[in-house]
Amino acid sequence: MERIKAINPEQATGKSKELLDGVQKKLGMTPNMMRTMAQSPAVLEGYLNFSGALGGGSLPAKLREQIALVVAETNDCEYCLSAHSAVGRILGLGQEEILDSRRGESSEGKTGAALRFARELVTERGRVNETGLAQVRRSGFSEGEITEIIANVALNLFTNYFNHVADPSIDFPTVPPLVDQQVRQRA
């Protein structure tokens, strides 16, 4: 149940309306998370600008979604798991790739290194050890790409935390955290 009210795009005004109209035009929908962020146009604009800047970076869209999945799983963010699983499928990730990404794994060595590094960033609150940094470097990531991995983790931490507090209605096929699935399977 939403704890911060989402703005109805049809009733939005000013900067919120402008931003929500842009989201609708680009995505063909206006996700509830963004409708809720629109309570503060500065928050929605900041999110869209950060996301857009990273979209123009060197990491491919598929890897950015995989990073979003491991961050969402690590933080038990059901909204982000649902959204990024849906987007991942659109980008060509199969079900096993999505599940592997959520676990911080990949059959592709370089991708796996990025996902393990992203998960370590979250679990260690940014204080990765030398081994973790060396592994991502050895896998072939440049210094610039490593900084983009860090930035993608930060962007997704923001959305995870935002969704934990705001609790917007999930407007994608619902994907529960793996921990929840494991608990249900044991029960």
Given a contact cutoff of 8 angstroms between Cβ atoms, the answer to whether 58 and 69 are in contact is: no
Whether residue 68 is predicted with pLDDT greater than 90 in this model: the reply is: yes
Dist. CA 148–CA 137, nearest whole Å: 13
Residue 181: pLDDT band by 50, 70, 90 thresholds?
low
For the chain, how big is the Rg over CA atoms in Å?
A: 17
- Least confidently predicted of 22-36, 145-159, 169-183: 169-183
180 vs 24, more confident:
24
Dihedral sign, Cα of residue 56, residue 30, residue 153, residue 96: negative
According to CATH, what is the number of the domain 61-186?
1.20.1290.10
pLDDT tens readout for residues 76-99: 999 999 999 999 999 999 999 999
Query: What pLDDT does 179 receive?
Result: 73
pLDDT of residue 187: 38
Of the two residues 42 and 1, the one the predictor is more confident about is 42
pLDDT band at 184 (very low <50, low <70, confident <90, very high): very low
In sequence order, what E strands does 53-119 have?
A: none
**Which residues belong to CATH 1.20.1290.10 in the chain?**
61-186
- Mean pLDDT of all residues in 1-27: 97
Please tell me the number of Cα atoms within 13 Å of 74 on its side-chain side: 23
